[in-house]
Amino acid sequence: MPTNQRNTREQPTDKGWRMDPIPSRPAYKDDDGNVRIPIWLTKNGRHTADTEMILLPSEAALLNERLTDAIEGPGSALQPLLHADVIAKGPGVTVVSKLPHSA
């Protein structure tokens, strides 16, 4: 009688294509004003290439807005922080007072 010899300890791999930002390489603006985001491309869990996502400034702003909405949306772990007394907020930065909320 045949048995299943598949290793059940293997981590499941993502099927299809995936893009991940390269943590050691920050996004930057090129000489034409485009925003370039270095990314890794993988297919079925295997690295395929290092490349860059090139966005017009308006596309980068839209991506920023959509990502911010997804992170700060209902049910987000950041919601309690974002309802705190915010001192300053900018792209990628939120400074929150350590003082207790005023009633």
Query: What are the backbone angles phi and psi of residue 82, rounded to the nearest 5°?
Result: -75, -15
pLDDT digits (tens, 9 = 90+) for 13-39: 668 999 999 999 999 999 999 999 999
Whole-model pTM above 0.75?
A: no
Answer whether residue 103 is part of any domain.
Answer: no
**Burial profile 34-61: b = 16 or more Cβ within 10 angstroms, e = fewer:** ebbbbbbebeeeeeeeeebbebeeeebe
Tens-place pLDDT, residues 41-78: 999 989 999 999 999 999 999 999 998 888 887 766 55
- Domains in the chain, number: 1
Q: Is residue 22 part of a domain?
A: yes
What six digits make up the tokens of 101?
């909320």
Residue from 7, 3, 43, 41 nearest 21 by CA: 41
DSSP 74: T
Give the residue numbers spanning the domain of 40. 17-89
Does the residue 1 lie in any domain? no
